Amino acid sequence: MPNDEHFRKLERMYLKAPVNDYFRLSVEIRHSEAHIRIPVRTDFFHAAGAVHGHVYFKALDDAAFFAANSLVPDVFVLTAVFETRFLKPVNAGVLHAAGKVISAARRVFVCESQLFNSEGDVIATGSGKFVRSGIALTPDIGYV
């Protein structure tokens, strides 16, 4: 059964991933859920002056992904399918993505996530399927 030590190792692994340096984000993982926070910056904006959809997708997918991996103590999970629904633009504040596991089987996990603006409004939602991989959770990938 995954525990707090597993959650902290997943958090450290996430923060050590080179791609996350750019986003200056934070993460909190608990049993069956994860929270990602990303401060909005103008270098995330598209030409119309709001955050580009790739930031929405990243936050939603990462929150759902780590909700799933919170239940898997031995291997990395992979995103198999992920759908994003954009509801509102945002150009200031902090994005907060909350992911949770909806159903868990031995190999496949179905998760949902919501993205909130600083006022607590839902600005996007996502859902997807995540599968166990053959990649062991080891110090080599930052799981320490």
- Give me the domains of the chain, ranges plus CATH numbers: 4-141 (3.10.129.10)
- Do strands 108-116 and 33-39 pair parallel, antiparallel, or not at all (unpaired)? unpaired
DSSP-derived 3-state class of residue 16: helix
117 C-beta neighbours (distance < 10 Å), count: 20
The pLDDT-based confidence of 90 (bands split at 50, 70, 90) is very high
For 1-39, the pLDDT digits (tens) are: 679 999 999 999 999 999 999 999 999 999 999 999 999
Question: How is residue 48 written in tokens?
Answer: 């119309």
Structure tokens at 115: 């993205």
Whole-angstrom distance, CA of residue 68 vs CA of residue 50: 30
